[in-house]
Structure 1
Amino acid sequence: MSLRIVVCVKYVPDATGDRRFADDTTTDRDAVDGLLSELDEYGVEQALRIAEANEGAEVTVLTVGGDDAKDALRKALSMGADKAVHVNDDDIHGSDVIATSAILAKALEKTGFDLVVCGMASTDGTMGVLPALLAERLGLPQVTLLSEVSVEAGTVKGRRDGDAATEQVEAALPAVVSVTDQSGEARYPSFKGIMAAKKKPVQTLDLDDLDIEADEVGLAGAWTAVETVTERPARTKGTIVKNEGEGGKQLAAFLAEQKFI
């Protein structure tokens, strides 16, 4: 049986845009352009490399989000993934990472998999706990924060680099892995890949398809919530130090006042 790899990806607000909260204190995703989370691109890249090293392997990308989240799937498909699954339901709005992990776990059980690949974190929430939550819900081993990963003879192996040591870790499939931004540069979609992505299948699922009740997810089922939001104050004009013979002293005094020195 061929290796079935599923990559969990996320459509996130562009970090260079003016990101804001909506009236319900959730991220206003309509107010700023979105894109495939950069850290998830590393997950897609490693999944494709594993597939290239394992003849007949298939790569599926999976996301949870609104209509625009299809753009993230299309980017991953243009990189070389074979097909995509999009979980889209109005009741998902406001889901936290706990609810998102429940939705993804149900979707993975429905689609089937041998290896689940994630990025190290999303660039909007930056929590980095989703792979562990998925592994717990699926009852699988987790091999996380890898800067090198491979699959051979039913075993996933990888290298985890820490501040003081490097570990070689492995687990029997099926398993959940996450890869860091040190795992290898993600490939750029070619023109051929972009055109081919338009014809690749994208399956859409909703909460009914996954046997999930609406009150289990969304704002109603969230374990965490934003209570209040205060807009970041506008940047103030900086202090200009003119060098008229005493510039060095003025600069030193300013740095000392700000407790930088």
Structure 2
Amino acid sequence: MKILVPVKRVIDYNVKVRVKPDGSGVDLANVKMSMNPFDEISVEEALRLKEAGKADEVIVVSIGPKQATETLRTGLAMGADRGILVQTDDSVEPLAVAKILKKVVEEEEPGLVIVGKQAIDDDCNQTGQMLAALLGWSQGTFASKVELGEGTVDVTREIDGGLQTVKLKMPAIVTTDLRLNEPRYASLPNIMKAKKKPIAEKTPADYGVDLTPRLTVIKTAEPEARQAGVKVASVGELIDKLKNEAGVL
């Protein structure tokens, strides 16, 4: 069985994001980029399933500029077998990503697609669900535990009341949450080996997908600076400030 893992190139989570002076978006010039953290978790889970003998091949796919090759190499260095780059310099919205991934799935015929639940740049939590709808596949979202059975996959997810486990018929889409696993670090030998692993290059036109945006960003702005805290001498003073200054009581 093949497992397909989409990965996205985003600003590294350790980097402080800067907004462009004109408010048109986020400044990406000279900024460290890396794999979306939720996608790292997806790659790790796919590799663990392969190591357990539940899968034969792990394929990583990315949609973005030529530099996204570096993100694919990270996945290959972790242990994935090959990569696919759908190269475009245009901004790609979640629906277009899902349409491209649908074509890739139809071409590769994986038994399982493991997707990060969201990207940390735009925080869209849509691609996995849209892909499942387009394919007509079962879906399990926000997985904190994944267990493969005979033609099924059990997905445990955290809900307000505790834990919920859903049994999905395969093929299926699974989106990963933070507590699913701890991604491994790529060793130096594996980083060297990753340079020789194949990466196929495609374009959205190869799949006949229109990338025309359906959304318009009106403005991008930094959040307001947080005000400094104050110490209070008594409970009465605390209540007074919460009522008259903060307006929360």
User: In which range does the TM-score fall when normalised by the shorter chain?
Assistant: 0.7 to 0.9
1:52-82, CA deviations, whole angstroms, 9 ceiling, x for partnerless residues? 1226610001111112212211111111111
Is residue 209 from structure 1 mapped to residue 200 from structure 2 by the alignment? no
Contact 1:4 1:112 in 2 (8 A): yes
Contact 1:19 1:32 in 2 (8 A): no
Aligned to 1:35: 34
Contact 1:146 1:183 in 2 (8 A): yes
Aligned to 2:98: 101
Is residue 76 from structure 1 mapped to residue 81 from structure 2 by the alignment? no
Contact 2:61 2:72 in 1 (8 A): yes
Match runs of 1:142-153 below 5 Å: 142-153=139-150
1:86-142, CA deviations, whole angstroms, 9 ceiling, x for partnerless residues? 11023xx12221222112222222233111001121111222121110011112111
Is residue 248 from structure 1 mapped to residue 239 from structure 2 by the alignment? no
Q: Quick one: distance in 1 between partners of 2:223 and 2:23?
A: 18
Aligned to 2:136: 139
- Give the fraction of aligned pairs with identical amino acids, expressed as a percent: 31
Amino acid paired to 2:57: E
Aligned to 2:108: 111
Q: Quick one: distance in 2 between partners of 1:87 and 1:22?
A: 31
Identify the match of residue 6 of structure 1 among 4, 7, 28: 4
1:196-246, CA deviations, whole angstroms, 9 ceiling, x for partnerless residues? 11111111111222122xxx21xxx2222201334556x5885888xxxxx
Aligned to 1:188: 185
The range that moved more, 12-21 or 195-204, is 12-21
Q: Quick one: distance in 2 between partners of 1:75 and 1:152?
A: 29
Is residue 155 from structure 1 mapped to residue 140 from structure 2 by the alignment? no
Contact 1:110 1:210 in 2 (8 A): no
Q: Quick one: distance in 2 between partners of 1:52 and 1:231?
A: 43
Is residue 224 from structure 1 mapped to residue 215 from structure 2 by the alignment? yes
Contact 2:17 2:26 in 1 (8 A): no
Aligned to 1:244: none
Q: Quick one: distance in 1 between partners of 2:189 and 2:170?
A: 33
Q: Per the alignment, do residues 137 and 236 of structure 1 end up closer, same or farther by CA in structure 2, a change over 3 Å counting?
A: closer
Contact 1:143 1:176 in 2 (8 A): yes
Contact 1:64 1:87 in 2 (8 A): yes
Q: Quick one: distance in 1 between partners of 2:164 and 2:229?
A: 48
Contact 1:147 1:181 in 2 (8 A): yes
- Name the Cα RMSD after superposition: 2.6
Q: Quick one: distance in 2 between partners of 1:138 and 1:128?
A: 18
Q: Quick one: distance in 2 between partners of 1:237 and 1:132?
A: 38
Q: Quick one: distance in 2 between partners of 1:97 and 1:160?
A: 23
Amino acid paired to 1:174: P
Aligned to 1:127: 124
Q: Quick one: distance in 1 between partners of 2:227 and 2:124?
A: 33
Q: Per the alignment, do residues 40 and 239 of structure 1 end up closer, same or farther by CA in structure 2, a change over 3 Å counting?
A: closer
Q: Per the alignment, do residues 135 and 211 of structure 1 end up closer, same or farther by CA in structure 2, a change over 3 Å counting?
A: same
Q: Quick one: distance in 2 between partners of 1:9 and 1:259?
A: 43
The range that moved more, 94-103 or 198-207, is 94-103
Q: Per the alignment, do residues 202 and 179 of structure 1 end up closer, same or farther by CA in structure 2, a change over 3 Å counting?
A: same
Q: Quick one: distance in 1 between partners of 2:145 and 2:61?
A: 22
* TM-score normalised to structure 1 length: 0.83
